[in-house]
Amino acid sequence: MSIKRLAKDTAIYGLSSILGRALYFLLTPLYTQIFATEEYGVVSVIFAFTAIVMVLFTYRMETAYFRFESDKGEKAQPYFDTAMISIVVSTLVLGTVFWLLAPQLAAFLEYPDQVYLFRIAVLILAFDALSEIPLSRLRLEGRPIRFAVVRLTGIITNIGLNLFFLVFCPYALARAQWSWLHPFLESVYNPDLGIGYIFLANLASSLLVFLLLSPFVWKIKLKFDWEQWRKMVYYAAPLVIVGFSYVINEVLDRALFNRLYPGEEARSQLGIYAANYKLAALIALFIQAYRYGAEPFFFKQKNSANAKQLYADLAGFFAAIGGIAFLAITLFIDFTKYFISNEDYWAGLQVVPILAMANIFLGLYYNFATWYKLADLTKWGAYISVGGALITIVLNVWWIPIYGYLGSAWATLICYGSMAAATWWFGRRFYPIPYRVPIIVLYLITAVGVWGLAQIWRSFLPDQLWLRNLGNIVFLLGYLLFIFRMERTKIQKYFGR
């Protein structure tokens, strides 16, 4: 599998991710128009909870499956059956436990009247966990098109149900000429449920994805290999800590914001932060697509003669594309902000550049983390991730009461920057890869510098939107030219044939 093939697969994964996120993005103005900022904060908190618990439900079995399935001989027993049986049993146990604990969780997160939402979230978690290994098998087998079709089907279902319950039902019930539909709509729609429909739509989507992947499940042989399971769990155990640390870094600020932010505006501020976080998360689309293709690629290439050089060149390409994505999002914020239709949320736009750069460092961390997965030194991933989580916890507890969500944004950037640096530093000792670190740093500094120049240009033309954006186009094209000149030789090497 070459870098050219990886780029193709990443493009397909990215297409499904970008289309899916674009569709989800269309929901952001809908949510911000329908729900007040404090209501939208509830959605953010509960999905933060699901992100944390999802690590426990999957316990990184998908990465262990990649590691050992890609290494087994042709006649060896597949690891899929053992991994899938393990996930099914653990999901039944954990799902029951969290269903029973829902009242206590809701009370702890200061939403005691929203227990039913936490229970819907538990069902979403269960179906997502059961789908994880089949989706990983599609990635390992190099079937990105089927993967994309399954994911997009779930996403379109989710969005369609959101639009049906939050837009169509209220609209149709308010129209006398649609009275023939009223009995049906009144039987399925409860206007008091409000944000509950967001979670029901997610549940239906997760269930459908599982059903589409169920042929993999029905074909498993009920033969559990304890030796395989022991090897996978031993390998994955430190990665569970990595996963928990990641979700702590990613969502702890929103999960604890209500408790740390002083005053009565905590829920409103959380809603503003959550909405603007989605703008910066556009870079996460590229990172997600890249990971879908790169993770199996790394394991398949590890025994090739030029594997380390491939990993190094990929990191350089990633930094270059990350800089382009950073500028595309931050330079044209005048347009992207309209995905948040309610101007009450625009007060948080200042966090977008900070969080966008944080996501680039997160992507670099994933590149640099190759060594501890390939060298079976996953415990080092746990050490580094725990360090990142401690940075997140300390800085959020310190800065949220003082700076609000701006403090959370800076904490995220510092955390991911530190983790990327630490992973690269320790990797030099255990699994040296010739990363072009000075070039990577140059790309990121140049991207930030171009953004800074654009802000100066913007300050001279506060009321000339078209002139400001004409300048932004010139700045972005200049950066693209700079990247092309720097990477021309490697582009010709990998993509010229």
The tens digit of pLDDT for each residue in 456-492 reads 887 777 677 777 778 888 999 999 999 999 988 887 8
Whole-number pLDDT of residue 75? 43
Q: What band does 1 get if pLDDT is binned at 50, 70 and 90?
A: very low
Residues ≥6 apart with Cβ < 8 Å to 460: none
Quick check: 450 pLDDT over 90?
yes
Domain count for the chain? 1
Lowest mean pLDDT among 73-87, 96-110, 124-138, 441-455: 73-87
Residue of 215, 359, 384, 197 whose CA lies nearest to 287? 359
pLDDT in tens, 115-127: 889 999 999 999 9
Whole-number pLDDT of residue 38? 67
Structure tokens at 354: 């900070």
Lowest mean pLDDT among 200-209, 259-268, 399-408: 259-268
SS3 state at 326:
helix
Q: What band does 497 get if pLDDT is binned at 50, 70 and 90?
A: low
Whole-number pLDDT of residue 341? 61
Q: What is the rounded CA–CA span in Å between residue 189 and residue 497?
A: 57
Of the two residues 494 and 128, the one the predictor is more confident about is 128
Eight-state DSSP code of residue 202: H
Q: What percent of the chain has pLDDT over 90?
A: 28
Query: How many other C-beta atoms lie within 10 A of the C-beta of residue 159?
Result: 18
Helix orientation angle between 3-34 and 307-331, rounded to the nearest 10 degrees: 30
Q: How far is CA 186 from CA 120, 173, 208, 322, in A?
A: 22, 8, 25, 48
Whole-number pLDDT of residue 240? 86
Q: What band does 17 get if pLDDT is binned at 50, 70 and 90?
A: low
Residue 373 and residue 433 in contact, taking contact as beta carbons nearer than 8 Å: no
Angle at alpha carbon of residue 106, lines to 101 and 109, rounded to 5°: 125
Residue 307 and residue 40 in contact, taking contact as beta carbons nearer than 8 Å: no
pLDDT in tens, 370-383: 888 888 888 898 89
Q: Measured over all CA atoms, what is the biggest interatomic distance in the chain, rounded to whole angstroms?
A: 73
Query: How many other C-beta atoms lie within 10 A of the C-beta of residue 462?
Result: 8
Whole-number pLDDT of residue 76? 46
- Report the pLDDT averaged over residues 120-148: 87
pLDDT in tens, 26-54: 676 677 677 776 676 677 778 777 877 88
Query: How many other C-beta atoms lie within 10 A of the C-beta of residue 124?
Result: 22
| 399 phi, psi to nearest 5 deg | -95, -30
Q: What band does 8 get if pLDDT is binned at 50, 70 and 90?
A: low
Of the two residues 445 and 258, the one the predictor is more confident about is 445
Quick check: 228 pLDDT over 50?
yes
Could you tell me the end-to-end alpha-carbon distance of the chain, in angstroms, rounded to an integer? 15
Whole-number pLDDT of residue 345? 76
Range of the domain at 61: 3-495
Q: What is the rounded CA–CA span in Å between residue 262 and residue 283?
A: 31
Whole-number pLDDT of residue 206? 93
Of the two residues 368 and 263, the one the predictor is more confident about is 368
Whole-number pLDDT of residue 207? 95
Whole-number pLDDT of residue 238? 86
Quick check: 427 pLDDT over 50?
yes
Q: What percent of the chain has pLDDT over 70?
A: 87
Q: What is the rounded CA–CA span in Å between residue 18 and residue 446?
A: 26
Residue of 128, 130, 122, 125 whose CA lies nearest to 88? 130
Eight-state DSSP code of residue 78: P
Eight-state DSSP code of residue 168: I
Quick check: 79 pLDDT over 70?
yes
Whole-number pLDDT of residue 18? 59
Structure tokens at 192: 């008091």
Q: How far is CA 283 from CA 5, 253, 330, 357, 455, in A?
A: 22, 19, 11, 9, 20
Quick check: 176 pLDDT over 50?
yes
Q: What is the rounded CA–CA span in Å between residue 36 and residue 272?
A: 10
pTM here is 0.72
Alpha helices (H) in 35-174, listed in sequence order: 37-58, 61-69, 80-108, 115-140, 144-163, 169-173
* Single-letter amino acid, residue 443: Y
Whole-number pLDDT of residue 26? 63
Q: What is the rounded CA–CA span in Å between residue 99 and residue 118?
A: 8
pLDDT in tens, 293-329: 667 777 777 777 788 888 888 899 899 989 998 998 8
Structure tokens at 370: 């190759």
Q: What is the rounded CA–CA span in Å between residue 250 and residue 297?
A: 25
Lowest mean pLDDT among 133-147, 181-195, 457-471: 457-471
